[in-house]
Structure 1
Amino acid sequence: MGSVRTLVGVRALRTMALAGASLFALTAGATAQQATARLEELSVEGTGRGAGATGGGQSAQRGADGRAAPEDPRGPVTGYVATRSATATKTNTPLIETPQSITVVGREQIDAQKAQTLTQATQYTAGVYSGTFGADTRVDYFSLRGFIASDYGIYRDGLQVLNYGFGTFKVETFGLERIEVLRGPAAVLFGAGNPGGIINQITKRPTTQPFGYVEVGGGSFGQVYGAFDIGGPVDDSGHWFYRLTGFGRQGGTQVEGAPDDRAYIAPALTYRPDAGTSLTLLTSYQRDSTAVTANFLPYLGTARPNLSGLRIPRSLNVGDPTINTFQREQAFAGYEFEHAFNETWTFRQNLRYSFSDAFQNSYLNQTGYADAAQTQLARYQFLTSSKVGIFQVDNQAEARFFDGYFAHDLLIGLDYKRYDLHDNQGTNFAAGYSVTPLSIINPIYGQILGRPAPYLVNSDTFQQLGIYIQDQIKLTDRLTLVLGGRQDFADNVVRDRLSPTNSSRRSDEAFSGRAALIYNFPEGLAPYVSYSTSFQPQIGSDANGRSYAPEYGEQVEVGVKFEPVGYGFFLTAAAFDLVRQNVLQPVPGTFFSSPLGEVRSRGVEVQAVANLAQGLNLVGAFTAYDLQTIKGNADQVGRTPTRIPEVLASVFADYTIPTGDWRGFGFGGGVRYVGRSFADVANTLTVPDYVLFDAQIHYTWDNWRAAINATNLGDRRFVSSCISANECFYGEARRVLASVSYKW
């Protein structure tokens, strides 16, 4: 059945590609002579048509109908309400015309909440459970529509940021302009990603207007930080623009003896020789120095009291401060090129090389207690060294035209990705020595016994080539049909340096597609329906050296969007039925995974964002799932997978007084509810639900702004999730930050 589906898909893709090529030949020749005159009429700030246009950071203007003027899909969001995105379709498409559930978190909302991580920035977003593995300073963890998406589901500027095993990246949020959460399969355009969705982080870009910004702050756990952001024209020619963003932080965390230091610098440069051509160089370097803060702790002692009636202190360093370390250097270097040949055809090429070099040495608890009274945590020592290199290029040709009957926005693309990982992992077990247990009542440190020996030394290479085509067809002025198809070719090679006979190679190919309809009523109501499939080749191999089979997904989604003209709010609601096949799940007590089988996620999501009045912004979300394993081991079928809460609700508001004696003074806050989840496969252990409160006050005068932000205001101790009865994670403690900023 799978081969038949692939064959049909390939034929369909070839037919669509040939049609697109013929169309290009007919259209390009007819319009070439008019191209120069048309391009001269375009604004130097960008055409507003292609996804690569960059804005000058100006506030959105409104037309006669009350709607905001077209915003740059990679530029600033006015208030909290975004109107356009280039993530769901890879084209500059209004959100109200996009037949898929998507939420955009803009810079203003990130700053208002003082979100310092991707986890914190998405806590008020529908369909997302942020901080799945607790207060982890190493990686941003989250789930989308009930599925962990921190590995294949993180993107930056439309290109994947892969986190496989211990080869990881973490993007500094101060360097972002917006964060776009796309829910549901996106493989038809991206060729990879969790079927629950992806999170695309949009980097700050050069602006046409000169500006400057500096900020200093500090707060909980002795943290202090400084940041700057400057940019504008390089010269008077109107062709060169720059931006330089930097961030530095030092201090501790909620875990004693665990630092969280960072240095980040991001130069960017744009060249626009004419109104239809732009080349933007995007680079960044980041160095992190932290420790393991997401301790693997037993269920008894965290979610519930243990046999001695005790709970493990949230601040306990399960490792040893003298060796508990995590160091990472990462760099991104690439460009975005765009050229409009004429009013019909635009070509774009996005290219990037990403590099990460990480080292971790720590004591961990993952096997429970070492004594019957449950006061001593069993520990082992884990050491890893991982180097990652990712080369990616995405070529796109977009044509906007009218065929005599329908208006089209046709996109044809070819992308390539190569991922290289050098992965070294070792433990004390392989070295033949034991690690002293740690008392949760009177912890004693400094007992360093040896150096771990390797149990895994692998060199992994993953390559993927994909060709895709998408057509957004205006059947009428209000009815839009979106059709898309993609053919992928993937190759996965695992070279086992310790046991060469366990080396493996696997090649896969698959077709994925999407069909969707959306109708836009004049009042701003837009119901839609979509069907989509996904394909995710898996990197690496299991404990026996066998390469993982690819993962597949299939989803039906119906929804409605509401953006009434001139009212300043956007409401979306969606219901979906999603099935994920060949799901990998961690094997408790190991660093390996195994295919679980099939999991179904059914649910509803509601998201509201609003600029309700001058100075008043609001965001609210509600999510409810029905997660169930429908194929797998006998003890798993019919059960709900662990670590995923099935109900999420949140609301956040911020108000700044616009006039009068108190002008510039503001305040706000939010409430987050997270429902219960399960801590074991049999669903006999539950992780309790919890409610958290956030608050802030701020004052703006002239170009200055001072603010105090607090998250988890009541300092509630809660468990964010459990993988098993011996692997639970504490969530973030109360975090208070005071900041002062100046802009010019």
Structure 2
Amino acid sequence: MIIRNSHRGAIRTLALTGASLFVLQAMAGGTAFAQQANTPNRGVSANGGSVQLDELSVESRSVGDRYGPVSSERPGPGQPENPNGPIDGFVAKRSVTATKTNTPLIETPQSISVIGRQQLDAQNAQNLAQATQYVAGTYASPFGYDTRLDYFLLRGFNASDYGLYLNGLQTLNYGFGYFRYNTFGLERVEVLRGPASVLFGAGSPGGIINQVSKRPTYDPFGYVEVGGGSYGQKYAAFDFGGPADKEGHWFYRLTGYGRNGGTQIDGLPDNSFSIAPSFTYKPDGATTLTVLTAVQRDTTGVSANFLPYFGSVRPQALGLRILRSTNVGDANLNTFQRDQAFLGYQFEHVFDDTWTVRQNLRYSFGESYQNSFIANGYDTTDTTQTQLSRYQFLVKDRVNIFQVDNQAEARFFDGFFRHDVLMGLDYKDYRLSDNQGTNFGANPFYTVPNLNIIAPTNGFAAGTPGPYLVNFDTFKQLGIYLQDQIKLNDQLTLLLGGRQDFADNRVTDKLNNGLTSNGRSDNGTTYRLALIYNFDYGLAPYVSYSTSFQPQLGTDISNQTFRPETGKQVEGGVKFEPPGQGYFLTLAGFDIHRKNTLTADPSNPFFQVQLGEVRSTGFEAQLQATVLDGLNVGASYTIYGLTTERDSNPALLGKVPVNVPENFANVFVDYTIPFGELRGFGFGGGVRYVGRSFADQANLFRVPDYVLFDAQVHYNWDRWRFQVNATNIADRRFVSSCQTTNACFYGQARQVLASISYKW
């Protein structure tokens, strides 16, 4: 709560932890008034030099202790929510992703969805794609069932490469040097839609996904879980933490997860192990240092089979469809392994009521290896369409990323308006050793045996893939940003933000005598302007304009680096969160223009070309609700038009890009009986609809829409929880999308998981 003397312009911040404030009197030698931070005045009366406040609900907007310990329990009614901590039910109140400040979602002039731990547990989300499949504007797994990594489209644009973040710092997945964080180690998943370059300096114009990891807790707790189900999957997990000393200066948390078993693909494993130690040092009430680490190993293979359109979407020449369980890569030669590690810290110091400084730093390391066969359409001499031709693909990548984000936040009153000013300087240093080999080409030096889709047999290739790309990529970026959230009055907020980036991209071609390509240095200016008006009854219309800047890594087939990608968006919407009603509704319309987009090179699918401009215009709705007693709901609807505005091929103008469905809707419901003999018993499920997409740039081959059903039951007894989840319970066979008519991807088959957990 902020107490301001209007005579002197002084601001004093009080930390309020209770649910109500009964009586407050302030003697200031002049007319004074009391004001709750970022909320309208309620029940205020003034008599002379004093101020009397009737009982009102208070939710503190403290700028300090954002990087400190959190509670292990969800906040109760009326209790303030930590923007990095647990959420009560499905409805989040606050976030730091959209503004990098502790801002209520109802005061954030941009479309954002927050999935908390309770919803992740209800869905038993095993990966980030499952965690976001009920979020507006988000199409998870466009490349189908993939055990290696998570793919996303936000408002029609790929967000898997530059749009994934962990604790506010980019994971930057390029080439095959990508990261994947285990969802059991997450407290929240926050999906910010629209450009975010002003604060982050990168990301798709469609938005970003920020993963917030679990962190040390004030109170001691412990949790263990075991489970298993389809395809022989078995897993075990633990999570415990709390204070480490009697004085209350040290706190810790240790989270671990292990999984072993098969998949819907014959002979393909999906094994994973991760452990994430973290600790917090808090010497006093003003200073916090939290160290966050994680180590993970994944062992699997290529499950996203590249299948022909005829044989997956439509029957092939004999009226058959390829089985979802077919291991196109060959059970004897289909390997993917990743080792990754994160080491970083978050530091915060509150100097006084005005100034707070923070530093967010992390070093990330990843090493991946893949050796597999990839399908390449039917053999051209096979009229029965039963012989899949294949080639071998070999990758060895190593990636290192150093990142640091320095922030200074000042909250003050200038005599006319309240300000929340954020100043920042961030830097990243990315290094990738990229080694890729194949026998693909017009004159391969050895051939891979065809695969008979009716009677598959396994057989090794006759040789070792030859290298076609051996690069060492370095990318450095320095950004300076400034943002001001200005309270023009108690209800109207103006957000202004600007950023200047300096980027340098160099590629050393070690395959061709170590020559350095035509690396480039770029700079870009981005800005954001937004207004939001908060009515007393919970309605908040807003409008915003923002731009994006994204330097591109890698080179084209001629070893030339790419120009930066730019974008701009106009968004208008309304948010509705009536006080005390337990639900949050967001409606948003948007228009995005994206320039210098990358697409597959038509002359060589292993490289990309930079072509033209794409536009996305649409509407989305998101509802999160925790209503009645024990009922939680998450639902969304999205529709947009995605068209090619500029391209080297005039015939493609106005066409819809491949892979992208333009219409989807879903709802997930979870209910736990709160009283009676069946108290603790719960059930629920979800419905997911995905609209049609196209398999070719000319939009001649259509991928049909589909509907999927999920279900779950659970029972809470004392400290125990028993749960069973079923994904795609009807086991519908569907194609998520097609990249070309020779590259279509089956979605996830039915998967059933049962789990038992205990918390103390």
Question: CA deviation digits over 1:488-529, x for unaligned, max 9?
Answer: 000000000012446231100010000000000000000000
Which residue does 1:372 correspond to in 2? 383
1:466 touches 1:488 (CA, 8 Å); kept in 2?
yes
Cα 1:39/1:416, change in 2 over 3 Å: farther
Question: CA deviation digits over 1:470-494, x for unaligned, max 9?
Answer: 0000001000000000000000000
Q: Choose the corresponding residue for 1:495, options 508, 520, 536.
A: 508
CA distance in 1 between partners of 2:235 and 2:356 (Å): 42
Which residue does 1:555 correspond to in 2? 569
CA distance in 1 between partners of 2:194 and 2:530 (Å): 13
CA distance in 1 between partners of 2:134 and 2:107 (Å): 23
Which residue does 1:25 correspond to in 2? none
1:305 aligned to 2:315? yes
2:491 touches 2:533 (CA, 8 Å); kept in 1?
yes
* Partner SS for 1:635: helix
Which residue does 1:569 correspond to in 2? 583
1:525 aligned to 2:539? yes
Give the CA deviation at 1:679. Answer: 0.6
1:167 aligned to 2:177? yes
CA distance in 2 between partners of 1:681 and 1:716 (Å): 27
Normalised by the length of structure 2, the TM-score is 0.91
Question: CA deviation digits over 1:344-396, x for unaligned, max 9?
Answer: 10000000000100000000013444422110001000000000000000000
**What is the number of equivalent residue pairs in this alignment?**
705
Q: Choose the corresponding residue for 1:704, options 711, 720, 739.
A: 720
CA distance in 1 between partners of 2:429 and 2:485 (Å): 30
Question: CA deviation digits over 1:386-439, x for unaligned, max 9?
Answer: 000000000000001100000000000000001100000001247711111100
Which residue does 1:4 correspond to in 2? none
Question: CA deviation digits over 1:200-252, x for unaligned, max 9?
Answer: 00000000000000000000111000000000000111110000000000001
Which residue does 2:395 correspond to in 1? 384
Give the CA deviation at 1:320. Answer: 1.5
Which residue does 1:19 correspond to in 2? none
CA distance in 1 between partners of 2:700 and 2:204 (Å): 28
1:175 touches 1:245 (CA, 8 Å); kept in 2?
yes
Give the CA deviation at 1:270. Answer: 0.3
Give the CA deviation at 1:42. Answer: 9.4
2:68 touches 2:290 (CA, 8 Å); kept in 1?
no
Given residue 555 of structure 2, which amino acid in structure 1 is its aligned partner?
S
1:48 touches 1:70 (CA, 8 Å); kept in 2?
no
* Partner SS for 2:283: strand
1:512 aligned to 2:517? no
2:449 touches 2:459 (CA, 8 Å); kept in 1?
no
Q: What is the Cα-based RMSD across aligned positions, in Å?
A: 1.7
Moved more, 286-295 or 438-447: 438-447
Q: Specify which structure has the higher proportion of helix.
A: 1
1:668 touches 1:695 (CA, 8 Å); kept in 2?
yes
CA distance in 2 between partners of 1:54 and 1:479 (Å): 32
Given residue 442 of structure 1, which amino acid in structure 2 is its aligned partner?
A
Which residue does 2:474 correspond to in 1? 461
Which residue does 2:236 correspond to in 1? 226
1:478 aligned to 2:488? no
CA distance in 2 between partners of 1:422 and 1:277 (Å): 39
1:145 aligned to 2:155? yes
1:39 touches 1:276 (CA, 8 Å); kept in 2?
no
* Partner SS for 2:121: helix
1:54 touches 1:72 (CA, 8 Å); kept in 2?
no
Which residue does 2:304 correspond to in 1? 294
Question: CA deviation digits over 1:9-40, x for unaligned, max 9?
Answer: xxxxxxxxxxxxxxxxxxxxx99xx99xx899
Q: Choose the corresponding residue for 1:688, options 696, 704, 715.
A: 704
Give the CA deviation at 1:665. Answer: 0.5
* Partner SS for 2:130: helix
CA distance in 2 between partners of 1:675 and 1:191 (Å): 32
1:502 touches 1:544 (CA, 8 Å); kept in 2?
no
1:626 aligned to 2:641? yes
Given residue 88 of structure 2, which amino acid in structure 1 is its aligned partner?
T
CA distance in 2 between partners of 1:126 and 1:550 (Å): 28
CA distance in 1 between partners of 2:703 and 2:95 (Å): 36
Given residue 161 of structure 2, which amino acid in structure 1 is its aligned partner?
D
Which residue does 1:641 correspond to in 2? 657
* Partner SS for 1:315: coil
* Partner SS for 1:231: strand
Give the CA deviation at 1:612. Answer: 1.2
CA distance in 2 between partners of 1:731 and 1:377 (Å): 20
Which residue does 1:24 correspond to in 2? none
Give the CA deviation at 1:453. Answer: 1.2
Which residue does 2:118 correspond to in 1? 108
1:241 touches 1:271 (CA, 8 Å); kept in 2?
yes
Which residue does 1:21 correspond to in 2? none
CA distance in 2 between partners of 1:567 and 1:42 (Å): 22
CA distance in 2 between partners of 1:138 and 1:562 (Å): 38
Give the CA deviation at 1:634. Answer: 1.4
Q: Choose the corresponding residue for 1:719, options 711, 714, 735.
A: 735
1:377 touches 1:440 (CA, 8 Å); kept in 2?
yes
Given residue 428 of structure 1, which amino acid in structure 2 is its aligned partner?
N
Cα 1:240/1:47, change in 2 over 3 Å: farther
1:39 touches 1:342 (CA, 8 Å); kept in 2?
no
Given residue 343 of structure 2, which amino acid in structure 1 is its aligned partner?
A
Cα 1:47/1:620, change in 2 over 3 Å: closer
Q: Choose the corresponding residue for 1:133, options 132, 136, 143.
A: 143
Question: CA deviation digits over 1:42-65, x for unaligned, max 9?
Answer: 99xx98324434421333244xxx
Cα 1:502/1:466, change in 2 over 3 Å: closer
Question: What are the equivalent positions in structure 2 for 1:298-447 lying under 5 Å apart?
Answer: 298-370=308-380, 371-429=382-440, 432-447=445-460
1:221 touches 1:252 (CA, 8 Å); kept in 2?
yes
1:604 aligned to 2:614? no
Any stretches of 5+ residues in structure 2 without a counterpart?
1-8, 19-59
CA distance in 1 between partners of 2:254 and 2:62 (Å): 24
Give the CA deviation at 1:134. Answer: 0.5
Give the CA deviation at 1:596. Answer: 2.5
Give the CA deviation at 1:672. Answer: 0.3
Given residue 394 of structure 1, which amino acid in structure 2 is its aligned partner?
D
Moved more, 421-430 or 107-116: 421-430
Give the CA deviation at 1:586. Answer: 2.3
Give the CA deviation at 1:449. Answer: 1.3
2:506 touches 2:516 (CA, 8 Å); kept in 1?
no
2:378 touches 2:386 (CA, 8 Å); kept in 1?
no
Q: Choose the corresponding residue for 2:280, options 270, 281, 291.
A: 270
* Partner SS for 1:119: helix
2:425 touches 2:480 (CA, 8 Å); kept in 1?
yes
CA distance in 2 between partners of 1:158 and 1:546 (Å): 31
Given residue 579 of structure 2, which amino acid in structure 1 is its aligned partner?
V
Give the CA deviation at 1:314. Answer: 0.5
Give the CA deviation at 1:447. Answer: 3.1
1:663 aligned to 2:679? yes
Give the CA deviation at 1:594. Answer: 1.1
Normalised by the length of structure 1, the TM-score is 0.93
Question: CA deviation digits over 1:644-690, x for unaligned, max 9?
Answer: 00001001101000111001100001100000001100001110100
1:47 touches 1:53 (CA, 8 Å); kept in 2?
no
1:260 aligned to 2:270? yes
Give the CA deviation at 1:69. Answer: 3.3
Any stretches of 5+ residues in structure 1 without a counterpart?
1-29, 63-67
Given residue 476 of structure 1, which amino acid in structure 2 is its aligned partner?
N
* Partner SS for 2:611: strand
Which residue does 1:615 correspond to in 2? 630
Identity of aligned pairs, percent?
63
* Partner SS for 1:365: strand
Cα 1:488/1:194, change in 2 over 3 Å: same
Question: What are the equivalent positions in structure 2 for 1:208-227 lying under 5 Å apart?
Answer: 208-227=218-237
